[in-house]
Structure 1
Amino acid sequence: MGKIVISSNVTLDGVVQDPDGQEGFERGGWFHQFVGSKDLEDWVARETEEAVGVEAILLGGRTNEWFADRMTARNEAEGRVSPEWAERVRSLPKYVVSSTLEDPQWSNVTVLGGDAVKEISELKRKVDGEILVYGSYQLMRTLIEQNLADELRLVVFPVVVGTGLRLFDETSDTKPLHLVNTRQLGDGLVFYNYEFARG
């Protein structure tokens, strides 16, 4: 049985929108604005360790495009992505939830184009191990709302942006979680690891 793990970068006030500033959000770009080199080094090490420990990646359509564009040898050579992390992400089976995607643009991609809840439930039965969800905030909200997410991993950045898309804007019910782990990354980031409580 698979375990769906949501992994996200988030501001102190819960904003997940436009961390790299590429979407044009007026308060975007907070990922690189508020971290030092030690923060980034520890973030990359944690991200790589996480990717090595999973069996598959689950993405929404736009996040799939973002990753496919950035997981190139050129970006690796220019130091924009960690080579070990990029190689692992490229090699993993990837499942993309999209009703319009025809050309995934990179390898090992299976498009889930039908009923998302049904197909992801089937994916959990099929994959033995962790299924990692990056970005894909609409998908993350669906997973949380439908009780398909098993674990939540957040890296909190030391900034309040005041407005923007948040991971937990609305849910139809209370979602209790249990704290599994917390640790500091570098000098300013904090990693939180929760499991969703069941029953």
Structure 2
Amino acid sequence: MGKIVISENISLDGVIQDPTGEEGFRFGGWFDPATADREAWAKVLTDEALGAEALLLGRRTYEYFVARGWVSRSGEWADRLRSLPKYVVSSTLEDLVWNNSRVLKGEVMDEVSKLKQKVNGDIVVYASGRLVPTLMEHDLVDELRLVVYPVVVGAGERLFGETSDQKPMRLLGTRTVGDGLVLLTYQSIRDA
């Protein structure tokens, strides 16, 4: 059975919006203060990709990866992402240019539940700020891996908004990444 793993870059105050500053958000670009940690950060994400069996992405995240050349990039991380099966949640996307990509059509929760039955291993969800809250709300998230950046952004889209109920989590691990990042890993507790 598959395990949905949310992998996010996040500020200390929970912001996920425009980390690179490319979207024009006035508080964007908060990813930059950790430049010295880029190599350590890339190693964490490469290792995560090497351990994954599939990617699950929202449409905007899929388009972000494609627009930034991940379709043809080289290197261990890019090669692994290219080889992984990619499932994209979208009601509008039709032409998929990144190999091994497939659109999940129909009811999102049904499709993701079927995907969890089909894939044996980690199904990693990068970014996907609209998809993640939906998965959380419907108790489909098994694990959170949050790379926390040492910055308070002060405004912007946060990873978690309102939910219909509390979503208890169990801390599985903490790890320093480079000189200033922290990787927090949490497991969903379903029977709390």
Shorter-chain TM-score bucket reads over 0.9
- SS of the residue corresponding to residue 48 of structure 2 reads helix
Matched, 1:88 2:83: no
Normalising by structure 2, we get a TM-score of: 0.96
Give the Cα separation in 1 of the matches to 2:31 and 2:83: 26
SS at match of 2:41: helix
How far 1:18 sits from its partner (Å)? 0.7
Q: What secondary structure is seen at the aligned counterpart in 1 of 2:80?
A: helix
| Residue correspondence of structure 1 range 37-186 to structure 2 within 5 A | 37=36, 39-70=37-68, 71-73=70-72, 76=74, 83-186=75-178
| Counterpart residue type for residue 89 of structure 2 | V
AA matched with 2:131: L
Q: Secondary structure at the match of 1:36?
A: helix
Counterpart of 1:79 in structure 2 is none
Rounded to whole Å, the distance in 2 between the matches of 1:186 and 1:95 is 31
Q: 2:24: which partner in 1?
A: 24
Change (3 A) 1:23 1:91: same
Q: What does residue 15 of structure 1 align with?
A: 15
Secondary structure at the aligned position of 2:18 is classed as coil
Give 1:72 deviation, angstroms. 4.2
How many residues matched?
190
Kindly provide the amino acid, as one letter, of the partner of residue 157 in structure 1: Y
C-alpha deviation, 1:36, in angstroms:
3.5
Kindly tell me: are residues 153 and 84 of structure 1, through their superposed partners in 2, closer, same or farther at Cα, counting changes over 3 Å?
Answer: same
Match of 1:80 in 2: none
Give the Cα–Cα distance (whole angstroms) in 1 for the partners of residues 55 and 87 of structure 2: 6
Residue by residue, what CA displacement relative to the aligned partner does 1:79-99 show, whole Å, maximum 9, x if unpaired?
Answer: xxxx11011001100000000
Regions of 4+ moved over 4 Å: none
Q: Considering only aligned residues, what root-mean-square deviation do their CA atoms show, in Å?
A: 1.0
**Cα-to-partner distance string for 1:61-117 (whole Å, 9 max, x where unaligned):** 0100111222044x55xxxxxx11011001100000000001112110110121101
* Structure 2: tracts of 5 or more residues without a match: none
Is residue 10–residue 147 contact of structure 2 (8 Å, CA) maintained in 1?
yes
CA distance in 1, matches of 2:118, 2:35: 40
Counterpart amino acid of residue 2 in structure 1: G
* Richer in helix (by share): 1
Q: Contact (CA 8 Å) 1:100, 1:113: kept in 2 or not?
A: no
- In the TM superposition, residue 30 of structure 1 has moved relative to its aligned partner by 0.8
CA apart distance, 1:20: 1.1
Partner SS, residue 57 of structure 1: strand
Q: Mind listing any 5+ residue stretches in structure 1 that lack a counterpart?
A: 77-82
| SS of corresponding position for 2:52 | coil
